[in-house]
């Protein structure tokens, strides 16, 4: 039996983010020979997967508190629970105390030229780089092997693309009849880029196809509130409250298209969900997007916000193109079911144990 402690911060603080959704999938895909314990900074949600043990250590929801959580609390909880492995979904491993840390990155990459603001943010970034050098394993999607980092000291384990979340057949969501969906980075700069891109489309289609934003936390909602007065978007853009994980499949199945004018997350993001459920996708071009999406998306340069806005108009108005993109996405996603994620994850855990 392998004991694995999971960092559950995203599970309760950002449950609809890529990190939160990926962690739920990891917990749903537990092997019979894995004992899963999830470390949480507050009480566990009612929807925590069956068989998962929650270890709660109340912690404030702030950047400084999260730094302490990552560097002090997680190693302590790993020791208290006699964990063989500490599994993270964000690139902030502890420097000391956790003998075997592994990472399946499920966060949006920093933008080129992005500057860290504030002492706590800079300190967290600096400390995390030291933790990354002690990482015992990086888990990476096998269909993105060519895009895996080349400068890692830790071994890279390639896993098949993760299966979809367990959806509820009885999901009744209070949503518009038609809508577009965004689940992407929501820092101040990324939200400003999103609003700039959406402004090119909102006047034409926004009244009938509002853009719904999924996964924003309290700070990100504040950023959005600060930005919106500078844009004349009316009711064409709305934020969604945190949703049950079991409702996420219905949310994607019901949308008209997915809009992602930003870099992709490696695990847990909306792009794979769009392909899996056959939804037209408009995304920013880049090495990851090219490798993952190919002809299954309408791609435009990340810095060409007008082209990205035009792209979302195109997939809404041109039904033939939307259908072709949706079919290409379904065909690409169909290959993901040929391997067992659960067995591959367990094999990776075993390999890390044997190598240390």
User: How does pLDDT run along the chain (356 residues), one tens digit per residue?
Assistant: 999 999 999 999 999 999 999 999 999 999 999 999 999 999 999 999 989 999 999 999 998 999 999 999 999 999 999 999 999 999 888 988 777 999 999 999 875 444 556 776 777 777 667 677 789 999 999 999 999 988 888 899 999 999 888 887 677 888 999 999 999 999 999 999 999 999 999 999 999 999 999 999 999 999 999 999 999 998 999 999 999 999 999 999 999 999 999 999 999 999 999 999 999 999 999 999 999 998 999 999 999 999 999 999 999 999 999 999 999 999 999 888 766 899 999 999 999 998 86
The pLDDT value recorded for residue 6 is 98
Interatomic CA distance for residues 253 and 172, integer angstroms: 12
The pLDDT value recorded for residue 113 is 44
Pair (349, 318) in one structural domain:
no
Q: Does residue 187 fall inside a structural domain?
A: yes
Q: 329 vs 152, 218, 318, CA distance in Å?
A: 31, 33, 17
Select from 242, 243, 238, 283 the least CA-distant residue to 264. 283
Q: Does residue 165 fall inside a structural domain?
A: no
Residue 345 near residue 4, CB atoms below 8 Å: no
Q: Does residue 281 fall inside a structural domain?
A: yes
Pair (191, 124) in one structural domain:
no
Pair (215, 330) in one structural domain:
yes
Question: Which residues are CB-contacts of 99 (< 8 A; sequence separation ≥ 6)?
Answer: 356
Pair (202, 279) in one structural domain:
yes
Pair (22, 147) in one structural domain:
yes
Pair (24, 142) in one structural domain:
yes
Interatomic CA distance for residues 69 and 210, integer angstroms: 38
Pair (121, 205) in one structural domain:
no
Q: Does residue 166 fall inside a structural domain?
A: no
Question: Which residues are CB-contacts of 76 (< 8 A; sequence separation ≥ 6)?
Answer: 97
Q: Does residue 174 fall inside a structural domain?
A: no
Query: Which three-class secondary structure string do you get for the chain?
Result: CEEEEEECHHHHHCCCCHHHHHHHHHHHCCCCCEEEEEEECCCCCCCCCCCCEEEECCCCCCHHHHHHHHHHHHHHHHHHCCCCEEEECCCCCCCCCCCCEEECCCCCCCCCCCCCCCHHHHHHHHHHHHHHCCCCEEEEEHHHHHHCCCCCCCCEEEECCCCCCCCCCCCCCCCCCCCEEECCCCCHHHHHHHHHHHHHHHHHHCCCCCEEECCCCHHHHHHHHHHHHHCCCCCCEEECCCCCHHHHHHHHHHCCEEEECCCCCCCCCHHHHHHHCCCCEEEECCHHHHHHHHHHCEEECCCCHHHHHHHHHHHHHCHHHHHHHHHHHHHHHHHHHHCCHHHHHHHHHHHHHHCC
In degrees and rounded to multiples of 5, residue 101 shows phi and psi of -110, 135
The pLDDT value recorded for residue 109 is 83
Query: Starting at the edge strand that comes first in sequence, how are the strands of the sheet with 237-239 ordered?
Result: 237-239, 211-213, 180-182, 257-260, 281-284, 298-300
In degrees and rounded to multiples of 5, residue 104 shows phi and psi of -115, 100
Our count of domains for the chain comes to 2
Q: Does residue 167 fall inside a structural domain?
A: no
The pLDDT value recorded for residue 248 is 94
Q: Does residue 316 fall inside a structural domain?
A: yes
Pair (114, 201) in one structural domain:
no
Interatomic CA distance for residues 319 and 204, integer angstroms: 16
Domain range for residue 314? Answer: 180-336
Interatomic CA distance for residues 131 and 101, integer angstroms: 9
CATH of the domain at 205: 3.40.50.2000
Pair (21, 110) in one structural domain:
yes
Pair (279, 344) in one structural domain:
no
The pLDDT value recorded for residue 117 is 61
The pLDDT value recorded for residue 336 is 84
The pLDDT value recorded for residue 339 is 66
Q: Does residue 186 fall inside a structural domain?
A: yes
Interatomic CA distance for residues 74 and 150, integer angstroms: 28
Global pTM value: 0.93
Pair (204, 156) in one structural domain:
no
Pair (31, 148) in one structural domain:
yes
């Amino acid at each position: 039996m392998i004991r694995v402690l999971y960092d559950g911060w995203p599970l309760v603080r950002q449950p609809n983010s890529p990190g939160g959704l990926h962690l739920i999938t990891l917990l749903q895909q537990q092997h019979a020979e894995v004992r899963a314990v999830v470390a949480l900074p507050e009480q566990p949600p009612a929807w925590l997967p069956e068989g998962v043990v929650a270890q709660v250590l109340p912690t404030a929801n702030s950047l400084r508190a999260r730094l302490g959580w990552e560097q002090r609390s997680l190693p302590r909880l790993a020791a208290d629970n006699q964990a063989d492995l500490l599994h993270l979904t964000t690139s902030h491993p502890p420097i000391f105390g956790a003998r075997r840390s592994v990472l399946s990155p499920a966060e949006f990459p920093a933008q080129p030229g992005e500057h860290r603001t504030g002492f706590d943010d800079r300190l967290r970034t600096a400390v995390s780089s030291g933790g990354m050098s002690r990482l015992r394993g990086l888990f990476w999607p096998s269909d993105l092997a060519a895009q895996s980092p080349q400068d890692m000291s830790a071994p890279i384990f390639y896993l098949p693309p993760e299966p979809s979340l367990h959806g509820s057949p009885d999901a009744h969501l209070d949503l518009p009849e038609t809508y577009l969906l965004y689940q992407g980075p929501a820092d101040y700069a990324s939200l400003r880029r999103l609003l700039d891109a959406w402004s090119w489309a909102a006047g034409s289609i926004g009244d009938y196809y509002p853009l719904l934003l999924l996964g924003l936390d309290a700070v990100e909602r504040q950023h959005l509130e600060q930005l919106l007065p500078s844009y004349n978007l009316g009711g064409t853009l709305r934020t969604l409250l945190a949703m049950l994980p079991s409702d996420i499949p219905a949310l994607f199945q019901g949308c008209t298209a997915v809009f992602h004018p930003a870099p992709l997350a490696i695990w847990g993001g909306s792009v794979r969900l769009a392909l899996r459920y056959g939804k037209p996708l408009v995304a920013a071009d880049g090495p990851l997007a090219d490798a993952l999406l190919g002809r299954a998306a309408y791609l435009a340069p990340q810095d060409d916000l007008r082209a990205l806005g035009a792209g979302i108009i195109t997939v809404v108005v041109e039904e033939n193109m939307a259908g072709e993109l949706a079919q290409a996405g379904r065909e690409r996603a169909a290959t993901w079911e040929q391997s067992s994620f659960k067995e591959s994850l367990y094999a990776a855990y075993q390999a890390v144990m044997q190598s240390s």
